[in-house]
């Protein structure tokens, strides 16, 4: 597609439930990034993929969070046993390759609300 697509755009879930957030990067982009943005704050890094592998997952807050990119294209961020503090906008970005010469393109995000 023309841009980074994230689905769903909004997700409301009950505390303790499992959720999956999907990201479709720009076709041909090998690098994919997940960020989390809480209300009134800047995005915070969670994880990035180079191809199929998670090259850096140092931003994942705890083991309830996990992300995959099995075929090097679409990525899914998975959150188990959701907590109210997980409520935020989850942003995905992609770039042609990793590096300073390859800028990010962000999607519009998934707004997750845990009630």
Handedness of CA 38, 41, 46, 52 (dihedral sign): positive
Nearer to another protein, 59 or 68 (CB): 59
Binding site for another protein (CB under 8 A): 4, 10, 31, 33, 37, 39-45, 48, 50, 55-56, 58-59, 89, 91, 93, 98-100, 103-109, 111
Nearer to another protein, 33 or 79 (CB): 33
The tokens for 25 are 């990067």
Q: How near is the Cβ of 94 to another protein at its closest, in Å?
A: 11
Cα(45)–Cα(6) distance, integer angstroms: 17
Nearer to another protein, 37 or 74 (CB): 37
């Amino acid at each position: 597609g023309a841009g980074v697509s994230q689905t769903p755009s909004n997700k409301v879930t009950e505390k303790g439930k499992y959720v999956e957030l999907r990201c479709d990067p720009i076709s041909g982009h090998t690098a994919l990034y997940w960020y989390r943005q809480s209300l009134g704050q800047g995005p915070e890094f969670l994880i990035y993929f180079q191809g199929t592998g998670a090259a850096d997952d140092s931003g994942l807050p705890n083991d309830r969070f996990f992300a995959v990119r099995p075929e090097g294209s679409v990525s899914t961020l998975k959150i188990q046993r959701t907590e109210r503090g997980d409520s935020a906008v989850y942003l995905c970005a992609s770039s042609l390759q990793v590096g300073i010469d390859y800028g990010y393109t962000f999607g519009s995000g998934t707004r997750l609300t845990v009630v």
